[in-house]
Structure 1
Amino acid sequence: MPTAAEQHGVVEAAGCVLWRRAHDGEGIEVCLVHRPKYDDWSWPKGKLHDGETPADAAVREVREETGMACRLGAPLSTARYLVRDRPKVVHYWAAEALGGHFQPNGEVDALRWLTPPEARALLTHPLNRPLLDEALATLEGVA
């Protein structure tokens, strides 16, 4: 069933630049997911359910796509673009992974924890790279 926003032509979604402290204690790692339907590497994200807030959707989508619980941090830029001639709006946050276990599923078949430079190189869509920079700026002093 389409959400209220979709009924007005706008597809609304939410996601996160998910991060954790590196196991070696040196810096952070960020999480990218592979979506076989699009054969791309991106941030975990997905459409809002009807009546769901963007923040709640972001947390739910991270859990569904990565198996990770997370704590939302700073809000990041909102992405706006067209998908099949319809406007799409994606709300993003930096989010710290609190733990969990990845299981491949129908939407995501692989997950990688990468250093920021590795993630930048692997991201499929150029519009996702500025979100990495923005998230890292919010984490200065954390990692």
Structure 2
Amino acid sequence: MVFAAGGLLWRDDGSLAVVHRPRYDDWSLPKGKLEPGELLPETAVREVEEETGFAVERGGFAGRYQYEVSVGPKTVFVWHMRARDERGRPDDEVDELAWLRVAEALDRLTYALERDLLRRVGRVD
């Protein structure tokens, strides 16, 4: 099983960060794989900071989802997060960051599993 973690990154105005990854040509929640020796909450913070360019404050657990990849099942654990200081440009995996209202994010996100998670736990506009 592959483990990954990420976040629902919120700004104080209620908008949510979604990222475009040119490698996959998709719009998704910021997330990434667990590194050796890392705990899932640490992975979530690291990946969200790398993919958005923002320092973040991790909040409560939002949920998880699972799907199949070439090596077997992949489970993604997601936390609510608050955007703090902008640190700079996102890493090379991301070419665009959009801050969207929940309804807009639901329209933009590529993957149904991420949309389902957002519907279950997202803030209401």
Does TM, normalized by the shorter one, top 0.5?
yes
Verify: 1:13 aligned to 2:4, yes or no: yes
Verify: 1:92 aligned to 2:92, yes or no: no
Residue 102 of structure 1: how far off its partner (Å): 4.5
Runs of 4+ in 1 over 3 A off after TM superposition: none
Q: State the number of aligned residues.
A: 125
Q: CA offsets per residue over residues 34-89 of structure 1, 9 Å max, x none?
A: 01111000000000110100000000001111111111111022111101151111
Contact 1:94–1:135 (8 Å) recurs in 2: no
SS in 2 for 1:72: strand
2:30 alignment counterpart: 44
Distance 2:49 2:35 in 1: 15
Query: RMSD of the TM alignment (CA)?
Result: 1.7
User: Unpaired segments of 5 or more residues in structure 2?
Assistant: none
Task: State the identity %.
Answer: 45
Q: CA offsets per residue over residues 95-139 of structure 1, 9 Å max, x none?
A: 1111214515320010000111111100001111122233325xx
More strand by share: 2
Contact 2:5–2:43 (8 Å) recurs in 1: yes
User: Unpaired segments of 5 or more residues in structure 1?
Assistant: 1-9, 23-27
For 1:132, give the aligned amino acid: L
- Which of 68, 71, 78 is the aligned partner of 1:82? 68
Cα 1:89/1:81, change in 2 over 3 Å: same
Contact 1:102–1:111 (8 Å) recurs in 2: no
